[in-house]
């Protein structure tokens, strides 16, 4: 089946017994078994995909996990409470005291903070590398995992995923990838060699900005230590969030196509404004970055970053506050458009940018792109940045 057909039909096996097109929401804390053999069998499985206890999942979470595994072309999937919990589970289960972890620079802020605080406390050395670095020269005998996020947050650099995976696998080092931006619609990480793919399903997969959820896909072997870690540390998800994500999956493809069309229209118009010094968006890149974009992705999502021309703090504040259709918030991936002042992660201890430019991240939602561009244009004018 093509992916659009899959989105309508996968994750619906429990719906049949209810004579419904959608699977039921199953909430429970206690799972009961018909006999002792079935009870014992449930605990003999290292990787479990059937009810054992409420914390380990209900039919609702298993429906979502099987659906996501199929979309990602992977063997299995683990659902967690949010995107960050999925990231921390992957990193924690694949590192121990004395380990060396490689992470791309410009990664999602909370990911970086977890590495530099919690993993560091546990005796794990985290090394950050940029998109021009040779991973081959960075891998050590004690390197336990390589973590990449594509594109990188805020400045949106891309990485040569195939090359990273090839080098990592020569040393039996697993590669994990935060794949939230592209979604399974525009990005297939496992086909590029990625062992563990992570999605902040809070964003596009749910799509309605009303649930927190993380999803991890990969082979049984790759996810076995992660699933064990989640079980030991109680890192699990509410069936309600899984049910909402199953609802969101049905329209994922058409939403992503709309996000892409609108965003491309808006960034092309923004390019004509001299007040936009630079737009960070993979389809607008050049050279090696453009090549990576064209070979690793089949489409583009809604978040992008712009660097504004020199402006005062008053003008910058007025610009943000004058936007009517863009809500001020730190997330993205929902139906609504968002704006957020952005500072590169290595500079986030500073109140403002150290140079004259100012970075702003936009997420283009499902509104009409003409209205959204007009809103940005009006805010630039009202603030005095655009005269």
Say which range, 44-58, 119-133, 220-234, 366-380, has the weakest mean pLDDT. 44-58
pLDDT mean across residues, the chain: 92
Model pLDDT, residue 15: 75
Confidence of residue 201 (pLDDT cuts 50, 70, 90): very high
State how far the alpha carbon of 301 is from the alpha carbons of 23, 130, 184, 283, 364, in Å.
28, 22, 11, 10, 8
Model pLDDT, residue 159: 96
Residue 349 clears pLDDT 50, i.e. is over it: no
Catalytic residue among 160, 178, 195, 375: 178
Q: Give the mean model confidence (pLDDT) for residues 291-308.
A: 96
Q: Give the mean model confidence (pLDDT) for residues 206-233.
A: 95
Asked if 185 and 252 touch (Cβ cutoff 8 Å), the reply is yes
Say which range, 35-39, 180-184, 344-348, has the weakest mean pLDDT. 344-348
Catalytic residue among 27, 40, 41, 55: 55
Model pLDDT, residue 310: 87
Every domain of the chain and the residues it spans? 3-249, 252-383
Catalytic residue among 108, 255, 281, 361: 108
Residue 265 clears pLDDT 60, i.e. is over it: yes
Rounded Cα distance between 362 and 364, Å, is 6
355 is catalytic: no
Residue 264 clears pLDDT 70, i.e. is over it: yes
Catalytic residue among 188, 203, 358, 361: 203
Residue percentage of the chain with pLDDT more than 90: 77
What angle, 0 to 180 degrees and rounded to 10, lies between the N-to-C axes of helices 369-383 and 313-322? 150
Q: Give the mean model confidence (pLDDT) for residues 169-198.
A: 98
Model pLDDT, residue 42: 81
Rounded Cα distance between 99 and 27, Å, is 39
Model pLDDT, residue 216: 98
Rounded Cα distance between 171 and 174, Å, is 9
Confidence of residue 16 (pLDDT cuts 50, 70, 90): confident
Q: Give the mean model confidence (pLDDT) for residues 26-43.
A: 88
Residue 17 clears pLDDT 80, i.e. is over it: no
Residue 352 clears pLDDT 60, i.e. is over it: no
113 is catalytic: no
Residue 181 clears pLDDT 70, i.e. is over it: yes
Q: Give the mean model confidence (pLDDT) for residues 59-81.
A: 95
Model pLDDT, residue 356: 61
195 is catalytic: no
- Assigned CATH topology for domain 252-383: 3.90.1150
Residue 79 clears pLDDT 50, i.e. is over it: yes
Rounded Cα distance between 311 and 384, Å, is 9
What angle, 0 to 180 degrees and rounded to 10, lies between the N-to-C axes of helices 83-93 and 220-233? 110
Q: Give the mean model confidence (pLDDT) for residues 319-334.
A: 95
Residue 132 clears pLDDT 50, i.e. is over it: yes
Residue 125 clears pLDDT 80, i.e. is over it: yes
Rounded Cα distance between 338 and 154, Å, is 14
Q: 42 vs 150, which has greater pLDDT?
A: 150
Q: Give the mean model confidence (pLDDT) for residues 159-178.
A: 97
Say which range, 52-66, 170-184, 360-374, has the weakest mean pLDDT. 52-66
Model pLDDT, residue 345: 52
Same fold, 3-249 and 252-383: no
State how far the alpha carbon of 204 is from the alpha carbons of 37, 115, 302, 356, in Å.
41, 25, 10, 33
203 is catalytic: yes
Please state whether beta strands 196-200 and 175-178 pair in parallel, antiparallel, or not at all (unpaired): parallel
Considering the segment(s) 3-249 as one domain, its CATH architecture is 3-Layer(aba) Sandwich (3.40)
Q: 35 vs 53, which has greater pLDDT?
A: 35
């Amino acid at each position: 089946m093509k992916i659009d057909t899959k989105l309508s039909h996968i994750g619906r096996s429990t719906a049949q017994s209810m004579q419904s097109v959608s699977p039921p929401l199953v909430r429970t804390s206690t799972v009961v078994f018909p006999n002792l053999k079935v009870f014992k069998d449930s605990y003999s499985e290292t990787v479990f995909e059937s009810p054992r206890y409420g914390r380990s999942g209900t039919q609702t979470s298993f429906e979502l996990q099987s659906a996501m595994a199929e979309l990602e072309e992977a063997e299995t999937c683990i659902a967690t409470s949010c995107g960050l919990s999925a990231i921390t589970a992957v990193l924690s289960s694949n590192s121990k005291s004395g380990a060396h972890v490689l992470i791309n620079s410009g990664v999602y802020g909370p990911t970086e903070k977890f590495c530099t605080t919690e993993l560091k406390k546990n005796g794990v050395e985290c090394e950050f590398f940029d998109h021009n670095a040779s991973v081959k020269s960075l891998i050590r005998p004690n390197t336990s995992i390589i973590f990449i996020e594509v594109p990188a947050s805020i400045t949106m650099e891309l990485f040569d995923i195939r090359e990273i995976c090839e080098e990592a696998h020569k040393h039996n080092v697993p590669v994990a990838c935060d794949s939230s931006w592209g979604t399974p619609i525009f990005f297939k990480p496992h086909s590029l060699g990625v062992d563990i793919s992570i999605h902040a399903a809070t964003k596009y997969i749910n799509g309605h900005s009303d649930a927190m959820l993380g999803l991890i896909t990969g082979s049984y072997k790759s996810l076995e230590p992660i699933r064990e870690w989640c079980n030991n540390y109680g890192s699990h998800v509410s069936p309600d969030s899984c049910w909402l994500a199953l609802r969101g999956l049905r329209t994922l493809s058409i939403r992503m196509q709309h996000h892409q069309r609108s965003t491309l229209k808006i960034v092309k118009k923004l390019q004509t404004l001299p007040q936009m010094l630079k737009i960070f968006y993979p389809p607008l890149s050049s050279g090696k970055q453009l090549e990576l974009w064209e070979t690793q992705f089949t489409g583009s999502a809604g978040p992008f970053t712009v660097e504004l021309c020199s402006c005062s703090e008053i003008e910058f504040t007025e610009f943000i506050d004058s936007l009517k259709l863009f809500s001020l918030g730190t997330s993205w991936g929902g139906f609504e458009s968002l704006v957020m002042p952005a500072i590169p992660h290595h500079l986030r201890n500073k109140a403002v940018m150290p140079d004259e430019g100012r970075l702003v991240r936009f997420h283009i939602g499902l509104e009409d792109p003409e209205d959204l561009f007009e809103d940005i244009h009006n805010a630039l004018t009202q603030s005095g940045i655009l005269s």
